[in-house]
Amino acid sequence: MAEKLIIFDTTLRDGEQSPGASMTKDEKLRIARQLERLKVDVIEAGFAASSNGDFEAIQNIANTIKDSTICSLSRANDRDIARAAEALKGANRARIHTFIATSALHMEKKLRMSPEQVLEQAKLSVRYARNLVEDIEFSPEDGYRSDVDFLCRVLEAVIKEGATTLNIPDTVGYAVPELYGNFIKTLRERIPNSDKAIWSVHCHNDLGMAVANSLAGVKIGGARQVECTINGLGERAGNCSLEEIVMAVKTRRDYFNLDVGIDTTQIVPASRMVSQTTGFVVQPNKAVVGANAFAHASGIHQDGVLKARDTYEIMRAEDVGWSANKIVLGKLSGRNAFKQRLQDLGVSLESEGELNTAFARFKELADRKSEIFDEDILALVSDESVTSEKEQYGFISLSQHSETGERPHASIVITVEGKEVHGESDGNGPVDASLKAIESNVKSGAEMVLYSVNAISGSTESQGEVTVRLQNSGRVVNGVGSDPDIVVASAKAYLSALNKLHSKADRVAAQG
């Protein structure tokens, strides 16, 4: 019997730390549901002490998700740990993940603590956490750049205090596979009680080696938990990507000889949901979930695949959840058919009110677009105005005029705290004019740092999905909007970003 590799997903915590990827409570819950369908073993739902919003998001997830262990991050202090335990109260299985930096650089410059103080703090925190919850993970932050003798002392001590999982982060993405694998192996060999805990890898992708390093940690080091995110989302160059690690271990089972419990057919839906929610578009040539990952363009490849698929295919597209664009619904589809399709896609809307709003949106869309694909439905329910009733800003209508040789002009009606207001502006193009028309009322002063458009189902008839990233007073947020008219999609995306700027409280940074 092969051993199991535990999949620990941190999309909702480390992934969300990526600038602009912050998610609302409802968005986090929706993604957590998808992670449960994917059958991830552990969902790191957030960092409870970082903000009230994150606390409530973890609480919601803990109260709803039944099959996966729910975890909260916490710094190594009693207040953070108590807050994490409180947020996790409703969970079937709860885990506290506490961390403190152990590299000389971090201890001296960031924490301003001596190694002995860090060791003591780590022990006290794990002891305290273990009194509240049975399942305790400990991470020595910047572990890979820490002195190995000191790290051995810290890890041996926290195992004695009751830590059940030891995670070795390559916090800055500095490791290379062989060295990282051997580092974990050395720790396991040198620490006398190392067999009392499960060893875990947590790799960042700054040098593009997060997946390779994690696999080396598993193969050479004997780690049995991998921490990863959907689409490799995460700060800077991101984290180890879940889809790549899972498919590597499954496809090369002959080499890794490990089992993973993931339902791989849920990988592409999860990837789409995370991308649509955060506005982080997946590059076309991304392994497993990129639009080209299974496209054979060259004649030789196509010929080979037609004769025998395994000439050029090592995985089957359908096994990771790719399905050909299917026309699923149309103008004549009723509320029940719509509800059923949402269920098939794993989307459950909280209330009848949300379902009614989503159905009204669907009807509006079906009037303008004869063929409705799964992607359209997912985009529609990702729209915040379907799931949250009380937004600061809402879209009502837009008219714009552009003609060769003339400066485009837009006139827009939006709601501000429920009241209709009207704005007008010229601009360099119709999108520019429309967003300036919004600003003429809102006067947010936010700086736009990214604008991108993507055709949801790949043709000019499809809906445009627009991502807008705004920055204001040091905060960065992404807004996503979709509509068959890309100027309207842009206005919706802009308003969605403004809503996020308006609503999100400041948070404590996990590694701050």
**Residue 105 is which amino acid?**
L
Min CB(290)–ligand KIV separation in Å: 25
Nearer Cβ to Zn ion (238/479): 238
The entry of ligand KIV, Zn ion, none near residue 510 (CB within 5 to 8 angstroms by kind) is ligand KIV
Min CB(13)–Zn ion separation in Å: 8
Question: Would you put residue 253 in left (φ > 0), alpha (ψ -120 to 50) or beta?
Answer: alpha
The entry of ligand KIV, Zn ion, none near residue 139 (CB within 5 to 8 angstroms by kind) is ligand KIV
| 241 Cα distance to chain centroid | 10
Min CB(512)–ligand KIV separation in Å: 11
Choices 10-18, 242-250, 312-320, 382-390 (CB under 5 A): range interacting with Zn ion: 10-18
Min CB(227)–ligand KIV separation in Å: 7
**Residue 55 is which amino acid?**
F
Q: Which helix (H) or strand (E) holds 49?
A: none
Nearer Cβ to ligand KIV (71/215): 71
Nearer Cβ to Zn ion (171/482): 171
Task: Tell me how far apart the alpha carbons of residues 278 and 450 are, in angstroms, rounded to a whole number.
Answer: 13
Task: Tell me how far apart the alpha carbons of residues 452 and 43 are, in angstroms, rounded to a whole number.
Answer: 30
Nearer Cβ to ligand KIV (169/181): 169
Spatial CA neighbour of 74 closest among 84, 64, 65: 84
Nearer Cβ to ligand KIV (14/135): 14
Task: Tell me how far apart the alpha carbons of residues 65 and 90 are, in angstroms, rounded to a whole number.
Answer: 10
Do you know the residue count of the chain? Answer: 512
Nearer Cβ to ligand KIV (28/250): 28
Beta sheet of 419-426, edge-to-edge order? 393-401, 409-416, 419-426
Applying CB under 6 A, which residues contact ligand KIV? Answer: 14, 99, 139, 141, 169, 171, 202, 204, 510
The entry of Zn ion, ligand KIV, none near residue 16 (CB within 5 to 8 angstroms by kind) is none
> Which residues, in sequence order, are CB contacts of 279 under 8 Å at separation 6+?
20, 452, 467, 468, 469, 478, 479, 480, 493
Nearer Cβ to Zn ion (201/410): 201
Task: Tell me how far apart the alpha carbons of residues 190 and 400 are, in angstroms, rounded to a whole number.
Answer: 69
Min CB(89)–ligand KIV separation in Å: 22
Min CB(511)–Zn ion separation in Å: 7
Find the binding residues for Zn ion in span 11-40 (CB under 5 A): 14
Min CB(234)–ligand KIV separation in Å: 8
**Residue 213 is which amino acid?**
N
Show the tokens assigned to 511.
Answer: 């590694």
Show the tokens assigned to 264.
Answer: 């791989």
Min CB(58)–ligand KIV separation in Å: 15
User: How far from 484 is each of 273, 331, 367, CA to CA, in Å?
Assistant: 19, 15, 11
The entry of Zn ion, ligand KIV, none near residue 145 (CB within 5 to 8 angstroms by kind) is none
The entry of Zn ion, ligand KIV, none near residue 135 (CB within 5 to 8 angstroms by kind) is none
Nearer Cβ to ligand KIV (154/358): 154
Spatial CA neighbour of 46 closest among 23, 67, 66: 23
Backbone torsions φ then ψ of 209, nearest 5 degrees: -120, 15
Interaction site with Zn ion (CB under 5 A) = 14
